[in-house]
Amino acid sequence: MINWITVESNSIRKVGYNETKNELYVDMGQRQPYCVFSEVSKYAFYHFASAESVEDHFNSHIKSVYSQVIV
């Protein structure tokens, strides 16, 4: 089950986390439903979701660190 959190960002609408699979979901409101990143800890997810700038945190600590899963 994916637990979604709405975030304040110009480019990211909401983020979700599947604790069973350790997957992070990022909904950017574009054509594809969302991006999925694997092997993300619950701590990393909550740190990302509560970041002062979700977009900056995504670019610095998620996109460049974790592997994106093709859905």
Phi and psi at residue 52, in whole multiples of 5°? Answer: -60, -40
pLDDT of 55 strictly over 80: yes
pLDDT of 58 strictly over 90: yes
Mean pLDDT over residues 31-43, rounded? Answer: 90
Q: Give pLDDT, residue 38.
A: 97
Mean pLDDT over residues 24-36, rounded? Answer: 86
Task: Give CA–CA dist 52/3, Å, rounded.
Answer: 20
- Strand 14-18 and strand 23-27: the pairing is antiparallel
pLDDT of 24 strictly over 90: yes
Phi and psi at residue 55, in whole multiples of 5°? Answer: -65, -45
Domain ranges of the chain: 3-69
pTM of the model: 0.89
Q: Give pLDDT, residue 1.
A: 87
